[in-house]
Amino acid sequence: MTYENIRLEHDGAVATLTIDRPKALNALNNKTLQEFEAAVKSLGADTRVLIVTGGGEKAFVAGADIAEMSSIAEHPEAQKFAELGHRAFALLESLAIPTIAAVNGFALGGGCELALACDFIYASEKAQLGLPEVGLGVIPGFGGTQRLTRIVGRARAKELIFTGGRIDAAKAKEIGLVLEVLPAAELLAHCRSVAAKMLKNSPLAISTAKRVIEQGADKDLGEANTLERQGFAELFGSEDQREGMKAFLEKRPAVFTGK
Ligand code: DAK
């Protein structure tokens, strides 16, 4: 499939999805969101890590497309746009594989929310993150109020959302929003090296860990630990569990199949 506003590249088991509308700082319009959704849907079982990044030198994604949004006059159209965005982000979040946001510049509004829908964020030194929606008379609408709060806590989330301000990569790391800050030229290589480490491990175990972390995050510890026990038990008898332990005992690297 050919896309206009995104690029989907495969390097072995690692896919890189680039939002690529640099003229508009990769802002998310309808077409871009549609292509993004189609690209995520197209990922096959051979893809085991997804990296999401922005095209050009300046931006990850500078938000929803304000020009297009401002022309949405009718409530049903706004509803459709909202549904598309929610569907695309939920799809990304529901992937059973690790997803990494490589934030290479401005990640504002819907762009920051896109990064938040990934499993974790690495940022370049020139990244700027923020949720400026209140300055446009709206609030974050692609899950930002909820996901940011779960990551940095209520007070930090409120500070960022109420001020509509931008924070640089160092500050974002300090509050736990991004994990590491890299020189711009090293950002993607860093993401790929982290991906390479994950590729050595059992895909089945990783997807189970991701599922129980996500499902357990909003439960009390007792219920959450029940999920962990179930996930742990389910893995016993899998080919990956047998291979992982056998390889350890035979002092050789494991060859996992994800089964
Ligand atoms: N939308 C459309 N075009 C954008 C854009 C955006 N978000 N951001 C930048 N651009 C365009 C600029 O208009 C400009 O286009 P030309 O004038 O060259 O045609 C080009 O990209 C370059 O931008 P600048 O000239 O402004 O570049 P600067 O370096 O001077 O400034 C900036 C960079 C990132 C600080 C600035 O562009 C900026 O403030 N951009 C807007 C950032 C922003 O406010 N983002 C949040 C958007 S609101 C919803 C769910 C979610 C949302 C909404 C609804 N529902 C559930 C319904 C989400 C809302 C948002 O994301």
Residues 55-64 have pLDDT tens digits of 999 999 999 9
**What is the per-residue pLDDT across 87-106, written as a single tens digit (0 to 9) for each?**
999 999 999 999 999 999 99
Sheet with strand 120-124: strands edge to edge: 6-11, 14-19, 49-54, 99-103, 120-124, 180-182
The pLDDT assigned to 72 comes to: 77
Q: Which residue is closest in CA terms to ligand 1's atom 38?
A: 62
The pLDDT assigned to 73 comes to: 64
Q: Which residue is closest in CA terms to ligand 1's atom 53?
A: 141
For ligand 1, the distance from its centroid to the CA atom of residue 106, given in whole angstroms, is 9
For ligand 1, the distance from its centroid to the CA atom of residue 65, given in whole angstroms, is 6
Q: How does the average pLDDT of the chain come out, rounded?
A: 96
Domain spans in the chain, listed from the N-terminal domain onward: 6-199, 203-249
Give the position of tokens 């922005």: 54
Q: Which residue is closest in CA terms to ligand 1's atom 13?
A: 24
- Indicate the angle between helix axes 239-249 and 203-216, nearest 10 degrees: 120
Q: Are 165 and 131 in contact (CB under 8 A)?
A: no
**What is the per-residue pLDDT across 147-196, written as a single tens digit (0 to 9) for each?**
999 999 999 999 999 999 999 999 999 999 999 999 999 999 999 999 99
- Alpha-carbon gap, residue 24 to 86, rounded angstroms: 21
- Indicate the angle between helix axes 221-235 and 203-216, nearest 10 degrees: 160
Tell me the residue type at 1. Answer: M
- The highest-level CATH class for domain 203-249 is mainly alpha
Residues recognised as catalytic:
113, 133
- The highest-level CATH class for domain 6-199 is alpha beta
